[in-house]
Chains A and B, each alone.
Chain A
């Protein structure tokens, strides 16, 4: 099993550009989520999904969109990138929800100029 995979590993955007961060898992997990990690701060929940077709907001959802059309994939979209979105983004999945053991991807380091 590949576990949780994320692409790209690194990305540089200009302010106002849009992009999609990809996340996929091959463990048949129902629950998937996105976190951002900034220096001096803990991981913060952006959006999560408890199954295909179901998504909800986390702690810091503004500026991000998500969709979940399949169990395997959970892409994160930045509609109009801002410098404040410079961060490392982690996707995670688990078998039974956000309270359970989370499997994290390797992360995407995003810089917005």
Chain B
């Protein structure tokens, strides 16, 4: 089965610094990887989608990379702010006949003032 691995330990970053979150996947490269933000007690909110042939994608202070050699995606938040504190989820298309997403467990990001 296709797996997504994220560092489940909390990541503490000083305000203003760049936060970098890691997502590793197993088996074949997915055509897409997606990143979501989830706040406590709320549903995930879509942030970015990166395709296999897109090495990098940006949206305002967010940047996602996709390295098929390392089987890894990195998610960067530049000039981080306390409001960026949340859990960030990485997801790939499940495949195998199931039309849905396989999610990682998420990384809890804490931006300290």
B-binding residues in A (CB < 8 A): 4, 31, 33, 35, 40-45, 48, 50, 56-59, 90, 92, 97-107
Q: Which of A41, A103, A104 has the most CB of B within 10 A?
A: A104
Instruction: Indicate the size class of the contact surface on chain B.
Output: 20 to 34
Tell me the bound Cα distance from A59 to B102 in angstroms: 9
Residues in A with CB closer than 8 Å to B98 are: 45, 48, 56-59, 98
CB distance from B21 to the nearest CB of A (A): 14
Secondary structure type dominating chain B contacts: strand
Query: Is B103 located at the chain interface by the 8 A CB criterion?
Result: yes
Residues in chain A near residue B44, CB distance under 8 A: 43, 90, 102, 104
Residues of B within 8 A of A (CB): 4, 8, 31-32, 34, 36, 41-46, 49, 89, 91, 93-94, 98-106
Please give me the 7 A-B residue pairs with the lowest Cβ-Cβ distance, nearest first.
A104-B43, A42-B103, A45-B100, A98-B100, A98-B99, A99-B93, A43-B103
